[in-house]
Structure 1
Amino acid sequence: MKNLLGILFLFMSFSAFSQDPFLQKSNPVAEKEAIQLTQKYVPELGLTGEQQSLFQQKVEEFLIRRYKIEAELSGKEKLNLLYKLQQEETAEMNDILTRPQLEVYKKIKPKFQPIETIKTE
C-alpha cells in the first residue's frame, strides 16, 4: 500500500512541476512583437540586461495567450478576457520590475499595449 501511494505521489508531483506545452511552442509573430514592445519599454523603465530578457519572455508569453483569445472569441467576452489577461500580465511583472519601474509600467502600458474597444451604434 505504501508503494502504491508513493508511486501515485510521484506521478502527481511530475504533473505539478511540468510546464504548459502551449506556452513552449514558438510563435515567431509573438516573438517579434515582444522584441519590439520590449525595445519601447527599455528607455521608459530603465531595464537592466537580465530584466530585459525576462520582460521580453513574459511579454511574449502573454502575447501568445492574447492571440489565442483574439482568434477564438469576440465581443464583450473577448474584451473581458483581454482585460483580465492584462491584469495578470501586470501582476506577473511585479516579479521582474522594481516598485518604481512597476509604477511607470502601469502608467505607460495602455499607450504601448491598448485593449480593443467595442463600437456601439
Structure 2
Amino acid sequence: MKLLPLLLTLFLSINVFAQDPMLQKNNQALDEQAKELTQTYSKELALNGEQIGMFENKVEEFLIRSEKIKKEFQGRKMLEMLYTLQARETAEMDNILTRPQLELYKQIKPRIQPLEELDMDKKK
C-alpha cells in the first residue's frame, strides 16, 4: 500500500528536477555574448565571484530563450514575448543580486540590453 505513494512521489520528482533540453544546447556565440554582457554589467554592479557565474548562466539562459522567440515569431507578437521574457529575466535576477544591485540593474538594463521596436513604433 505504501508502494503506490512512493512511486508517485518518485515520478513527480523526476519531472520537477528534469533539465530543460533547450538550455543544454551549447551555442558558442550566445556563450560569448553572455560573457560580454556579464562583464559589462559587472563593471557597473560590482558583482562578486559567485554572482558572476550565476549571472552569466542566467543571462545565457535568457539569450537562448530570446533566440528561440525570434526564430518562431515576428512583429508585435515577438516584441510582446520578448518584453515578457525580459521582465522575467529581471525578476529572476532578484535571486542573484543584492537589493541595491537589483535596483541599479533595472536602471541600466534598457541601455545595455534594449528591446527592439517595430518600424510602426519608430514612426510615432
TM-score under structure 2 length normalisation: 0.92
> Which residue of structure 2 aligns with residue 24 of structure 1?
24
Partner of 1:117: 117
Deviations 1:28-77, CA, capped at 9 Å, x for gaps: 11100001111111110001011111111100000000000011100110
Partner of 1:57: 57
Task: Report the counterpart of residue 97 of structure 2 in structure 1.
Answer: 97
Indicate the residue corresponding to 2:42 in structure 1.
Answer: 42
Structure 2 unmatched ranges of 5 or more: none
Give the Cα separation in 2 of the matches to 1:6 and 1:51: 37
- Write the distance in 2 (CA, Å) between the matches of 1:8 and 1:64: 33
In structure 2, C-alpha distance between the alignment counterparts of 1:64 and 1:49, rounded to whole Å: 23
Q: How many percent of aligned residue pairs carry the same amino acid?
A: 54
* Separation of aligned partners in 1, 2:3 and 2:51: 44
Find the residue that maps to 2:95 and give its secondary structure.
coil
Query: Residue 10 of structure 1: CA displacement?
Result: 1.3
- Does 8-17 or 60-69 show the bigger shift? 8-17
C-alpha distance in structure 2 between counterparts of 1:51 and 1:8, whole Å: 36
Moved >2 Å (runs of 4+): 1-6
Corresponding residue SS for 2:35: helix
> Where do 5+ consecutive residues of structure 1 fail to align?
none
Deviates more, 1:79-88 or 1:14-23: 14-23
Match for residue 79 of structure 2?
Answer: 79
* Aligned residue type for 1:66: S
| Structure-1 separation of matches of 2:57 and 2:24 | 11
TM (norm. structure 1) is: 0.94
| Residue identity matched to 1:46 | A
Tell me which residue corresponds to 1:6: 6
Following the alignment from structure 1 to structure 2, what is the Cα–Cα distance between the partners of residues 22 and 116?
Answer: 23
State the shift of 1:8 in Å: 2.7
Shift of 1:2: 3.7
